Amino acid sequence: MTIERGVLGGAFVAVGILLIVFHTVFSDQVRRIRDALGKSDPLLRWGNWWTGDYARGGLIALRVVGILFGLFFLSEGILILARILD
């Protein structure tokens, strides 16, 4: 049981770190690549749907939500690992 919880905690920590790194470092690069390919993101609806231009507020909100999810996963993973070691 503790091995499975350790794997789960480690996975949560890894997902949290990946989300935080992706949304702080790589999100601008991904946006530039998608813009260069001429694709927009119709699911966000925060930018101009037809031209692929993004509204700054939409990108900031998307980054904040991604970072918050990363912090949540990171903290939950640390708590799971701390309970195992305790």
**Residue 31 CB partners (closer than 8 Å, separation 6+):** 54, 59
pLDDT at 47: 54
pLDDT at 72: 94
pTM for the predicted model, two decimal places: 0.66
The per-residue pLDDT for 82 is 92
Closest to 31 in 3D by CA, of 65, 58, 67: 58
pLDDT band at 16 (very low <50, low <70, confident <90, very high): very high
